[in-house]
Amino acid sequence: MASFDIRDPDFEARVRESFESLTLMRTMGARLLRVAPGEVEIELPFRSDLTQHHGFLAAAALTAIVDVACGYAAMTLMAPGASVLTVEYKVNFLSPAQGQRMIARGRVLRPGRTVTVCTGDVLAVIGGEERLVATMLGTMATVRGEERDSHRRTPEGVTAHEYHTASHHSREAWRRAWPLCVCRDGKLRQRVQQLLGR
């Protein structure tokens, strides 16, 4: 097991609290099993309503649990108040996903201040034995508290970006949204415009 610097002594409680807020994981019936520095394990019982046309657990379900496991593995090494956002991943499906349950194990390969590289495996548990069914390589970005504030809800019940989009920069909405909006970052705005070809 790799040795990592722990920046938040309460990382496990923070990860568990965040996991409990994930509606997708709750809907799928996934459960957080283990949280350790740079490692997270998630269990998903096999469910017929999550299968594809051949009766195997769908790739989307496998990808969801291993992505979340990797994201939270990265989050265990982040500073208090920081969160995580998936930037990129690649998943290889190695064999049909069938068994009593699936276990996704996410691990940090290389932590970083702004970007963390993770790897994850999904294993099918059949009669007490584990079989590798998918493996993932992912890149996770650190999202600090002030960056998350752009999605904070105002007293009117909408986010800064909802103001921004709905109003097309009307003066009043712009005035209220500007302190919360990541669009105030000129470099970020320029990069988004480049990506959109504007």
pTM (2 d.p.) = 0.74
Distance of alpha carbon 11 from alpha carbon 152, whole angstroms? 22
Does 177 score more than 50 pLDDT? no
Average pLDDT over residues 171-196: 54
Does 147 score more than 60 pLDDT? no
Residue 1's pLDDT band (cuts 50, 70, 90): low
CB atoms within 10 A of CB 12: 16
Mean pLDDT, the chain, as a whole number?
A: 84
Residue 122 or residue 178, greater confidence: 122
Does 188 score more than 90 pLDDT? no
Average pLDDT over residues 145-153: 51
Domains of the chain, first to last: 11-143 (3.10.129.10), 147-195 (no CATH)
- Quote the strand ranges of 58-164, DSSP E: 83-93, 101-110, 115-126, 129-143
Least confident of 5-14, 49-58, 96-105, 154-163: 154-163
Residue 170 or residue 106, greater confidence: 106
Q: Which pLDDT tens digit goes with each residue over 19-66?
A: 999 999 999 999 999 999 999 999 999 999 999 999 999 999 999 999
C-alpha distances in Å from residue 18, one per residue of 21, 95, 106, 147, 187: 5, 31, 16, 17, 30
